[in-house]
Amino acid sequence: MNNDDVQALYGYKAPLEERIFKYILKILLFFLRINGRNKISNWILEEVNPFILVKSKIDNSIKFKWITGHNRLLWRAKTFDTEESLMIKWLSKFRRDDIFLDIGANCGIYTLAAACKCDNISAVELDPINIGILKENLVLNNFEEKVLIIPFAAGDSNKKELIYFRSCSKSDAFQTIGKPSPLGTRLYDGKHKTTQLLFSLDYIYKEFKLKLPNKIKIDVDGNEKLVFKGAEEIILNAEEIYYEDSGFEESKKVLNKLLYNGFKILKDEKPDKTLRGRNLLLKNSNI
């Protein structure tokens, strides 16, 4: 895959018609003074903030925040059942007493789906923007008491660390811990990295006496090694793991450790033939 291919896959350049429309819109907003610096424009901006009703195979009444400044949120809602079909099939079989750990929750699309099926969920997310949208989504669906938000980066130890971001947009992904992303994303010019707290999930679960999860989703975009090293006890004691293998060497090493410790691949799905990596459903043969 050359640099142009990577840019096309993991970056976004708006088509000409979109750029023209946004330019005209900026002019219109300027003359109408819809800028957040007066009462009327704030009233308008507050009202343009609805949600979309997601009708899925899991539940047809999930509410999802989407107009918050980025079309990626609308895309996530509209591709709920199709983007990762293996995930939906897996979540649909959850029992009420399952304990689910969502590592890499983003804005909560699969956290919400799991909350329709079970009552004890922890959602780990490092992006403060995504955490805010995740919280809004939980409130919209009355899932606040079911879901514990763990608003930190999951890593190999407890420390401060640089987090590299692709951009400041809503529902963004491909953030990486301690180094630029191996996925070839844009904007790694020093403008989009912040110092944040990093915690081992094994430590978090012991310190706060959380119940160990039997179902775990790991979707961390190249951070697999760090996450696994700090959550090895939790992960190796789970019954089932949904693992997004990013296709890089560190991700493959983690997968090999899972297989060595008794996990078996039940399902293997490549969601898009143009993308690196695959989605795997693994079951612990020791349980």
Assign 3-state DSSP to the chain and report helix, strand, coil percentages, each to 5: 35, 20, 45
Q: What pLDDT, on the 0 to 100 scale, is given for residue 273? A: 55
Averaged pLDDT for residues 273-282: 79
What's the pTM? 0.86
Q: CA–CA separation, 59 vs 167, rounded Å?
A: 32
pLDDT at 181: 75
Q: Report the pLDDT value the prediction gives residue 2, as an integer from 0 to 100.
A: 41
Query: In the structure, what pLDDT confidence band is assigned to residue 141 with cuts at 50, 70 and 90?
Result: very high
More confident call, 112 vs 2: 112
Which residue from 215, 218, 240, 239 is spatially nearest to 229, judged by alpha carbons? 218
The verdict on residue 262 lying in a domain is: yes
More confident residue, 240 or 178: 240
CATH number at residue 143: 3.40.50.150
For residues 1 and 259, which has the higher predicted lDDT (pLDDT)?
259
Total domains, the chain = 2
Say if 62 falls within a structural domain: no
> Alpha-carbon distance 199 to 108, whole Å?
20
Do 102 and 165 fall within a single domain? yes
* Residue 275: per-residue pLDDT: 60
